[in-house]
Structure 1
Amino acid sequence: MEKERERKIIHVDMDAFYASVEQMDFPDLKDKPVAVGGNRQRGVVAAASYEARKYGIHSAMPSKLAASKCKDLVFVKPRFDRYRELSHLIREIFYRYTDLVEPLSLDEAYLDVTENKMGISTATDIAIEIKKAIKSEIGLTASAGVSINKFLAKIASDYRKPDGIFIIKPHQVLSFIEQLPIEKFFGVGKKTAEKMHRLNIKTGADLQAKSLKELVKHFGKQGRYFYSVSRGEDYRKVNPNRIRKSVGAENTFSISLKTKSAILEALQPIAEKCWKRYKQSDANAHTITLKVKFDDFKQITRSKSFEEAIYSAAIFDQGLESLMDSFELYQSVRLVGCSLSNFEIEEKIAENGQLTLRF
């Protein structure tokens, strides 16, 4: 089981995602306490900026209570279409390094980078690159945790928030868990923590001292989970919820485009980014797709398929120009994107020899 256990897992968690998106899109909200969702009289806070959290405001808190804690709290309506749009772009960054991506929500995901597309030797370097890419390309900050399994990686990502990174190396696992307050264990809620305290279980070391039989007696099936994770054992695999079928890139413009020539000009750097990602993948594409979203939010896509795999950027560019000619520009355009799909997957032949895990 040792070989199963020691993998390179990254957990990426966006920092106050919804609130940070609002502060990014609306600069007048920057550095202000912001609550996404609800209003001063009713509703529930969906997310709170770090400025708001200083007042004890957090998600799932009644809005009226949040307002009473901070007189300057700014309430904004959630824009889930925008959050989903940015979440998609963030996941595309993840897919540059691995297809083993398991999203937990719009703002967090597990990545298994035991083997990665870039040939980067350490998971730490990959996590650093991902954080930098999210900051430079999206404009937001993320925190990352790196370790040998999902349980530890998720705990680690919360350790240095915001905009932090924390690594739990294989030889550090047991000593890290021993000093961990029991409340930090995922799966330990308020009531479970109170029960553990009554059993004199306050840290990971206390949990390690309990036998499997004793933990099952007090916590049922969950006791087996506590017994395993207190010893750094979590055999759950990173399960992607989809097989990657395309690579793409897109951009939403601050000022809408009114002519096809302007769209083609704006499409060039988007196409270059898409082509770069395609060349980094392990597949040959047979289909080019162009996506256009108008100011009324109506979206159209046009695709063109080829018998032979698309092997040059020139063919890709020509295909996009042809697709641009195939639709009517009836109003200004707010978003343009392109993708390569219909993959012919090339299997990699694994090299012989034992994998050395460098964190």
Structure 2
Amino acid sequence: MTRKIIHIDMDAFYASVEQRDNPSYRSLPLVVGGSPTQRGVVAAASYEARKFGIYSAMSSRIAIKKCPNLIFVRPRFDVYREVSEQIHDIFACYTDLIEPVALDEAYLDVTQNKQNIKYASTIAKLIRADIFKQTGLTASAGVSMNKFLAKMASGMNKPNGMTVILPENAEAFVKALPIEKFHGIGKVTAAKMHSLGIQNGADLKLRSQKELTDCFGKAGEYYYKIARAQDDRPVEANRIRKSIGAETSFAQDLSDKQSIISELQEIATVLKQRIDKHQASGRTITLKIKFSNYRQITRSKTLLVPINDLETIGAKAVELLESVDLNEQSIRLLGISLSNLDNKINAHDNKNNYQFIQLHLFN
């Protein structure tokens, strides 16, 4: 049976909640995030702010330079969580197969649904209308036969839009898709694919699974499948996130110790943003290092109490770095993650008795 999958993505969720709750902010460039005077990071940008080239995970200092009149609002995660619960209650009117990806994003499997509605596109329209009626916020939706295609579709007609990719059109859609637009392919991987002559889905499909796994490791199996519009991952209603992390691949390998530490602090800042979005803290911190020869190592430390503040994360990451004998080896990737999570949202059960799990948001 062909599955019916919907991906719902709220439009500029945090920023839209702030504009909804404070009418004086409407139609103005606004970001939710930390102050530009305190090494803050943009957690979310309104569509008005995005016109200035401001986006999530950007340094607040850079954002204010792009738009001197930019409004900064501190995050109100309790409010966002309450609104998210409203939205998930709406989802539960149609299906229990709901996989939250974040407070503002989820996959729904409506192949068998509570309302016995034949078309997934009809359900997506009803959900979007319900969300607007009950919260005053808009959502975009992607509808297709698997999670990859639904995710791609939801971003095609934002804000407040919907795109349907029918099974018979799926391969043609993927063939024409620029490789840097693929969900799961970041900037560094896209650049490597370009260097191999892979510009779009059609080029990707020409490569064998062995070629792709030789070049990209286990991820090559995923690339091989999505090039053929295939994705058999189920919608996991009870999936629990075990860790939250952030990592960066460098265009030029790093060898200078101070540059490495500086990059670690930047990664820690992004990780802090993700932790805040998940309302989480963790007891185990892990440093990931990939050297220029692709050898990868990790170093971990488990603490007596959970941590979630930027200063401690940065300091512990540097401590782990000091435990590594770099031996003048250059580094192509650094990452920091927290595990053994204490997550408020993971502990929440909604009114419909399915577990609402807060998962990863940023890539």
Shorter-chain TM-score above 0.5: yes
Matches within 5 A, 1:1-359: 3=1, 6-42=2-38, 43-241=40-238
SS across alignment from 1:13: strand
Report deviation, 1:342.
8.6
Question: Is the CA contact (8 Å cut-off) linking 2:7 and 2:147 kept in structure 1?
Answer: yes
Report deviation, 1:186.
1.6
Q: Distance in 1 between matches of 2:159 and 2:181?
A: 17
- The AA in structure 2 aligned to 1:102 is E
Segments of structure 1 that go 5 or more residues without pairing to the other structure are 243-338, 344-359
Report deviation, 1:184.
1.3
Segments of structure 2 that go 5 or more residues without pairing to the other structure are 240-349, 355-363
Give me the identity figure in percent. 58
Q: Distance in 1 between matches of 2:97 and 2:353?
A: 19
Q: Distance in 1 between matches of 2:177 and 2:352?
A: 45
Instruction: Return structure 1 stretches of 4+ with deviation > 4 angstroms.
Output: 339-343
Q: Distance in 1 between matches of 2:65 and 2:226?
A: 40
Report deviation, 1:216.
1.2
- The AA in structure 1 aligned to 2:34 is G
- 2:266 matched to which residue of 1? none
Report deviation, 1:340.
7.2
Report deviation, 1:149.
0.2
- The AA in structure 2 aligned to 1:49 is S
Deviations 1:89-114, CA, capped at 9 Å, x for gaps: 00000000000000001000000000
**Which moved further from structure 2: 91-100 or 233-242?**
233-242
- The AA in structure 2 aligned to 1:97 is Y
Q: Distance in 2 between matches of 1:40 and 1:110?
A: 34
**Which moved further from structure 2: 83-92 or 216-225?**
216-225
Question: Is the CA contact (8 Å cut-off) linking 2:36 and 2:59 kept in structure 1?
Answer: no
Deviations 1:66-108, CA, capped at 9 Å, x for gaps: 0000011000110000000000000000000000000001000
- The AA in structure 1 aligned to 2:143 is V
SS across alignment from 2:42: coil
Report deviation, 1:227.
0.3
Deviations 1:233-291, CA, capped at 9 Å, x for gaps: 1111001028xxxxxxxxxxxxxxxxxxxxxxxxxxxxxxxxxxxxxxxxxxxxxxxxx
Question: Is the CA contact (8 Å cut-off) linking 1:103 and 1:241 kept in structure 2?
Answer: no
Question: Is the CA contact (8 Å cut-off) linking 1:34 and 1:49 kept in structure 2?
Answer: yes
Question: Is the CA contact (8 Å cut-off) linking 1:173 and 1:232 kept in structure 2?
Answer: yes
Per the alignment, do residues 92 and 31 of structure 1 end up closer, same or farther by CA in structure 2, a change over 3 Å counting? same
Report deviation, 1:15.
0.3
Question: Is the CA contact (8 Å cut-off) linking 2:89 and 2:351 kept in structure 1?
Answer: no
After TM superposition, the score normalised by the length of structure 1 is 0.66
After TM superposition, the score normalised by the length of structure 2 is 0.65
**Larger radius of gyration between Structure 1 and Structure 2:** 1
- 1:284 matched to which residue of 2? none
